[in-house]
Amino acid sequence: MLDRRRRYLQLAFNGDEAMVRRILPGIPASDRIFIEAGTPYIKREGLAGIRLMRELWAGTIVADLKTTDGAVGEVEMVHSVGASAATVLGSAPPEVLERFIRRCRELNMLSMIDMLGVNDPLHVLRDLHVVPDVMVLHRGRDEEQTRGKVIEYRHVNRVLSKYNVFISAAGGVDLKEARSAIFNGAGIVVANLVRPGEAITGIRTDENVAELAQQFLATIA
């Protein structure tokens, strides 16, 4: 599902069903674009929200579960409604991470470990007997408001020297940050769809999202 010769854009929907119905049909079909059911979206719309995305999008759909326990059940739930990838928090116990990765592998889903709040991602991976498909370096939306908080690209080379994983960069990603992410070794950049008035960085939903998505793809190519 992932090609190391290519770079991918992940569009994160954190709003509601109405946002998905309005914007997603206009996104150009591309195997380089992943559609994310963001954590707030899943909490608001539930499994029906992911099912709606699958009705509107034939490509990769990421369920941003941020699983912390009950890994097998959560993976199976989102798989049943069309998700092709899911996230687990790197701060979860190793047993959770391993069950998550193994069940994703059995269901032909991408496993993504989100390192939000993790000081040493390499230490997390060293404790595992199986390796995820993707490691997400994540600056949280609350962290975006803190001056000096950055996406920790310093971990990229340390991880890639030991493990064959894809690196994803998330959190306050605009075109400039997307270029930086690719330069620093990321293969996936995650851009939030941001409604007017929201104090986070990403692609504004009152602009031409499809056109901006193409700009991102050209930037990270």
**pLDDT value at position 145?**
67
Give the domain range for residue 25: 8-220
**pLDDT value at position 199?**
82
* Cα torsion 61, 64, 69, 73: sign: negative
Does some domain include residue 126? yes
Q: CA 12, CA 35: separation in Å to the nearest integer? A: 6
**pLDDT value at position 200?**
85
CB 168 within 8 A of CB 189: yes
Does some domain include residue 2? no
Number of H helices, E strands in the chain: 8, 9
Does some domain include residue 120? yes
- Give the angle subtended at the CA of 140 by the CAs of 101 and 66, to the nearest 5°: 25
State whether residue 150 is helix, strand or coil: coil
Does some domain include residue 60? yes
Buried b or exposed e, range 138-167, using 16+ CB within 10 angstroms: bbbbebeeeeeeebbbebbeebeeeeebbb
Q: What is the pTM of this model?
A: 0.96
| pLDDT tens digits in sequence order for the chain, 221 residues long | 799 899 999 999 999 999 999 999 999 999 999 999 999 999 999 999 999 999 999 999 999 999 999 999 999 999 999 999 999 999 999 999 999 999 999 999 999 999 999 999 999 999 999 999 999 999 877 777 677 678 899 999 999 999 999 999 999 899 999 999 999 999 999 999 999 988 888 999 999 999 999 999 999 99
Count of structural domains within the chain: 1
Does some domain include residue 193? yes
**pLDDT value at position 148?**
66
Does some domain include residue 1? no
Q: CA 65, CA 89: separation in Å to the nearest integer? A: 9
Whichever domain contains 98, its CATH number is 3.20.20.70
